[in-house]
Amino acid sequence: MVETLDLSGRTAVVTGAGAGLGRAEALALAEAGAAVVVNDMGENAHVVAEEITAAGGRAVALTGDVSDWSLGERLVDQAVTAFGSFDILVNNAGIVRDKMIFNLSESDWDDVIRVHLKGHAATSRAAAVHWRAAGKAAGGPVFGRVINTSSEAFLFGAAGQPNYSAAKAGITALTLSTAQGLSRYGIRANAICPRARTAMTADAFGENTGTAELDPLAPERVATLVRYLASPASDEINGQVFVVYGKMVALMAAPKVENRFDAAGSAFSVEELDDQLTPYFSGRGQYETYAAYDVAALEKAALATEPASV
């Protein structure tokens, strides 16, 4: 129902919202009626906040590095101080330092893990403290949404992104833990794995060569899902992972047990493991691993040519 999609009276914090995907998400939430705290490192945060207010919405900017643990608390406080509530957290801020594992430096690793994973944790922790206290004060569940930004890189184990893949895997696990830990307070936490043509992904996706009015990899397509997940309509969606781009939203299934190997006695010997595992994996294909390479099959449908009027 339309009223369950309305975000009027809600306040959202969006990190990395000065450009690209975060900007599109902030604009979409504002369009749905939410007040928005726009976070980014530089002046663009103010530009986006001004863009929202010029369109009749409500927004303020708070600049800062999400990997600064205290920024999470300041973002929550800013939401409450400026707009009277804090209801939605969209974690989007991130950087890339793409290297093969043999070329990866310590700073390449630390910087990506710090901004992506620690940044998500810092804001999620601050949000959790706020909502837990609010739930106790209210004597029951409150409204709260966490939407984290993971990536297909964690599903594939991208060869040129060991740091980014690891960070995104961690973000997915963080999302599941948040969903479990906060559900009793009425909070819902989900992760999205988006493809969007932004400055950060320019080298990967290049330019739009399609004929559709809206780029198949437009950030606005992802922002629509974020807007939905932020709404009351999504109340029964928790601890889920979505892949989203083009005209597609795909729900990922949990990993399943492929096979079970049992020792004949109380414990395996190495010889017994050899007898069971070696023939089982003999001739196994390169891509028959824990990685979810079947997700790549979604691309054709997701990026199918659309009418120019779209």
Maximum CA pair distance of the chain?
A: 72
Instruction: Tell me how far apart the alpha carbons of residues 76 and 130 are, in angstroms, rounded to a whole number.
Output: 8
251 DSSP β-pair partners:
242
Percentage of the chain lying above the pLDDT 90 cut = 83
Report residue 224 as tokens. Answer: 């629509």
Structure confidence by residue, pLDDT tens digits, 154-180? 998 999 999 999 999 999 999 999 999
Per-residue pLDDT tens digits for 95-135: 999 999 999 999 999 999 999 999 999 999 999 999 999 99
**Catalytic hit among 151, 165, 231, 234:** 151
What band does 292 get if pLDDT is binned at 50, 70 and 90? confident
Q: Where are the beta strands (DSSP E) in the chain?
A: 11-14, 35-40, 59-63, 88-91, 144-149, 187-194, 241-245, 248-251
pLDDT at 303: 65
pLDDT attached to residue 186: 98
Which of 65-74, 77-86, 203-212 is predicted with the least confidence, judged by mean pLDDT?
203-212
Q: Walk across the sheet containing 248-251 and list its strands.
A: 59-63, 35-40, 11-14, 88-91, 144-149, 187-194, 241-245, 248-251
Split at pLDDT 50, 70, 90, the class of 302 is: low
Confidence (pLDDT) at 260? 97
Return the pLDDT at 309: 39
Q: Is the pLDDT of residue 283 over 70?
A: yes
Amino acid at 275: D
13 DSSP β-pair partners: 37, 89
Predicted confidence (pLDDT) per residue in 87-102, tens digit: 999 999 999 999 999 9
Query: How many CB atoms sit inside 10 A of residue 304's CB?
Result: 12
Q: Is the pTM of this model over 0.85?
A: yes
pLDDT for 207: 57
| pLDDT score of 132 | 98
For position 214, what pLDDT does the model report? 66
Answer yes or no: 164 catalytic.
yes
Catalytic-role residue among 67, 124, 168, 231: 168
Q: How confident is the model at residue 25 (pLDDT cuts 50, 70, 90)?
A: very high
Please give the pLDDT value at position 308. Answer: 43
Burial class (CB in 10 A: 0-12, 13-18, 19+), 206: exposed
Look at residue 3 and give its three-state secondary structure.
Answer: helix
Single out the catalytic residue among 118, 150, 164, 185: 164
Range scoring the smallest mean pLDDT among 171-175, 198-202, 265-269, 287-291: 198-202
Gyration radius from the chain CA atoms: 21
